[in-house]
Structure 1
Amino acid sequence: MRFLHNGCGPDREGEDAMTHQYKSARFDIDGDGIARFTMCKPEILNPLTDDLRDDFEAMVNTVEGNPDVKVLILAGEGRAFSAGGNVKGMAERKDAQAAQARTRLYDAHNWLQRLYNIDCPVIAAVDGLAYGGGFAFALVADFIFASEKARFCSVFGRIGLMPDLGVLYTLPRVVGMAAAKDLMFTCRSIDVEEAKALGIVHQIHRSETLMGAVDDFAARLAHSSKDAIAITKRTVNGAFESTYGDVVDAEANGQAVMFTTPFHKEAVRRFMAKEPSLYDWDRMTK
């Protein structure tokens, strides 16, 4: 393990020190390049407090552009991945002005948009409630793995709010316009089977095997070319706003760079020498 900073218990020493003091999450990067960010305030359902906002931003600052990180896993302890917005905090800000609310959202998107496009695969492991902002956190992941305990809800309208934290952007792209409006207008919760049918959930596993399945998937992805994943991810994430010509330009420019990478050159060498491939999903056990 490279380092671990624990916001929900005593720190463990590692090779690197972290300047940010995590308060509502644990964050570690292991020796295989798997980073794990675990929200760990289960007694209050891992809400988006100011401390958790700071933890997310610090994690993004560490992971983004970090060659030691191959895959990022997001998780939550207890019966909630995250229950979303801190309603208690909203009550305490009952006299807040519109400008303050606007600033808070812009500040959140400074790190959330970076997390959406971060240069490695992101897997959300949902083993409970993913409501409101928690649903938003799951949707910025590239893959959602969920257990039978998972429930998803665009809950905002129940307290007279519109969806935020990117749900207006991410959800229609995953489920389509009509289904997104259904979930946003009704604010109904959906179980894991419906979430899978809608395309929100990538894989379903039993609660007791969920993290093992996530770890195995992450371990396989860690063998891939990070450069190729990063540029593919950014291009696909922007594809719905792009013309055919835009994608052609991204493809041509990106592929020109990929041909120069050490990963590609070693993969070609191995192919010519009839040696085992660097990255062959079908042949990997993990």
Structure 2
Amino acid sequence: MDTQTFIDLQVRDGIATLYLNRPDKRNAMSDEMRTQFIHALERVAADKAIRALVLTGNGKGFCAGGDITGMERRMQAPAGEVGFNGWHRQQRVHHTQTLLHTLPKPTIAAVNGAASGLGADTALACDFIIASEAASFTWSYIKRGIIPDGGGMYFLPRRVGLSKAKELIFSGRTVDIDEAQQLGIVDRRTGADTLVADAQAWAAELSRGSATALALGKTILNQSFELSASQVFAQGSQAQGICYTSTEHRASVMDFLAKRDAKKAQSGNKE
């Protein structure tokens, strides 16, 4: 029996575009879809030819969150297994979100429609969010009697501040594109017809520099709110030492010196 393709990964000119591909369910995340998502993220992380990732959804929605059918199955498990089953599922969820958050390359969520619950958290796990006019966000976990489990309690306060994050999570209300941009949930806004192309162009722009410097810089920046200044300096020193040995740094310096010497020679000839 063929496995349905819930994740469509396309790579062109060094930019990977990952489509959540369950449009009939507004790309709600099932267990099988999550497994395919993990494999795709691992491939992107390991492939040195891929410089950046764009994440979007097929159909009208970005991601409707967790699959309600999966929730129903979990509730039907024997009482003595519910807790451990839930713990095991959370390990998979957190592994997925961590892979996306720590991907050693620039990541952009291109939000084409509703991003709800886990879908909103998944967008926030990316470095940047670009959205179309049809986009909306809701941390609707409270309506199912649960808390954000995809990183929303970590990512959202860093985008909008603690008080506003509490308000959005406690109410579970929908944030439209205008408010999302005003609050800083969305970094850029564009038309629906050009959303993916604009995200890909932005990804190309962000990933032109040294892949070594980008990966190391992102790793430190992701921790910068939790670390002291001295810890950031210490990690920065180690990272810079690696950058000094990189092919990109050497090529850049040699290119600069060659241009400088050529300019000097040209000036000397004019004299």
Structure 1 stretch 146-155 or stretch 166-175: which is displaced more? 166-175
Where 2:9 maps in the other structure, the secondary structure is: strand
Superimposed CA distance per residue, residues 93-149 of structure 1 (whole angstroms, 9 cap, x where no aligned partner): 213412211110112212321220111000110010000011011011001000110
Q: Gaps (5+ residues) in structure 2?
A: 261-271
Q: Kindly report which structure 2 residues correspond to 1:174-213, keeping only aligned pairs within 5 A, or say none.
A: 174-213=159-198
Superimposed CA distance per residue, residues 2-26 of structure 1 (whole angstroms, 9 cap, x where no aligned partner): xxxxx9xxxxxxxxxxxxx662110
How many residues of Structure 1 are paired with residues of Structure 2 in the alignment?
255
Matched, 1:23 2:8: no
User: 1:126 pairs with 106, 111, 119, which one?
Assistant: 111
- Asked whether the equivalents of residues 42 and 99 of structure 2 are also in contact (C-alpha less than 8 Å), the reply is no
> Once the two structures are aligned, what percentage of the paired residues are identical?
34
Q: Give distance in 2, aligned partners of 1:268 and 1:197.
A: 41
Q: Which runs of 4+ in 1 moved over 4 A?
A: none
Residue type matched to 1:213 in 2?
A: D
Where 2:39 maps in the other structure, the secondary structure is: helix
Larger radius of gyration: 2
User: 2:229 pairs with 218, 240, 244, which one?
Assistant: 244
**2:37 alignment partner in structure 1:** 56
Q: Give distance in 1, aligned partners of 2:254 and 2:176.
A: 47
**1:106 alignment partner in structure 2:** 91
TM-score by length of 2: 0.90
Matched, 1:67 2:55: no
Q: Give distance in 2, aligned partners of 1:47 and 1:128.
A: 13
- Asked whether the equivalents of residues 65 and 119 of structure 1 are also in contact (C-alpha less than 8 Å), the reply is no
Structure 1 stretch 89-98 or stretch 41-50: which is displaced more? 89-98
**1:89 alignment partner in structure 2:** 70
Q: Gaps (5+ residues) in structure 1?
A: 1-6, 8-20, 276-286
Residue type matched to 2:231 in 1?
A: D
Q: Give distance in 1, aligned partners of 2:107 and 2:4.
A: 20
Q: Give distance in 2, aligned partners of 1:227 and 1:196.
A: 31
Q: Kindly report which structure 2 residues correspond to 1:116-195, keeping only aligned pairs within 5 A, or say none.
A: 116-195=101-180
Superimposed CA distance per residue, residues 211-236 of structure 1 (whole angstroms, 9 cap, x where no aligned partner): 22112112222321111111111101
Q: Give distance in 2, aligned partners of 1:105 and 1:129.
A: 23
- Asked whether the equivalents of residues 33 and 222 of structure 1 are also in contact (C-alpha less than 8 Å), the reply is no
- Asked whether the equivalents of residues 23 and 51 of structure 1 are also in contact (C-alpha less than 8 Å), the reply is no
- Asked whether the equivalents of residues 63 and 114 of structure 2 are also in contact (C-alpha less than 8 Å), the reply is yes
Structure 1 stretch 134-143 or stretch 265-274: which is displaced more? 265-274
User: 1:268 pairs with 253, 257, 261, which one?
Assistant: 253
Structure that is richer in helix per residue: 2
- Asked whether the equivalents of residues 84 and 130 of structure 1 are also in contact (C-alpha less than 8 Å), the reply is yes
**TM-superposed deviation, 1:42:** 1.0
- Asked whether the equivalents of residues 74 and 85 of structure 2 are also in contact (C-alpha less than 8 Å), the reply is no
Residue type matched to 2:31 in 1?
A: D
Where 1:38 maps in the other structure, the secondary structure is: strand
Where 1:61 maps in the other structure, the secondary structure is: helix
Q: Give distance in 2, aligned partners of 1:111 and 1:186.
A: 26
- Inter-CA distance 22–73: structure 2 relative to 1 (3 Å threshold): farther
Where 1:73 maps in the other structure, the secondary structure is: strand
Superimposed CA distance per residue, residues 259-283 of structure 1 (whole angstroms, 9 cap, x where no aligned partner): 11111111112222338xxxxxxxx
Superimposed CA distance per residue, residues 194-226 of structure 1 (whole angstroms, 9 cap, x where no aligned partner): 111211111000111212211211222232111
Q: Give distance in 2, aligned partners of 1:222 and 1:246.
A: 26
Q: Give distance in 1, aligned partners of 2:10 and 2:197.
A: 17
**TM-superposed deviation, 1:187:** 0.3
Q: Give distance in 2, aligned partners of 1:24 and 1:254.
A: 37
Superimposed CA distance per residue, residues 131-182 of structure 1 (whole angstroms, 9 cap, x where no aligned partner): 0011011011001000110000001001111111111111111211011101
- Asked whether the equivalents of residues 157 and 187 of structure 1 are also in contact (C-alpha less than 8 Å), the reply is yes
Residue type matched to 2:46 in 1?
A: G
Query: Cα RMSD over matched residues?
Result: 1.5
**1:42 alignment partner in structure 2:** 23
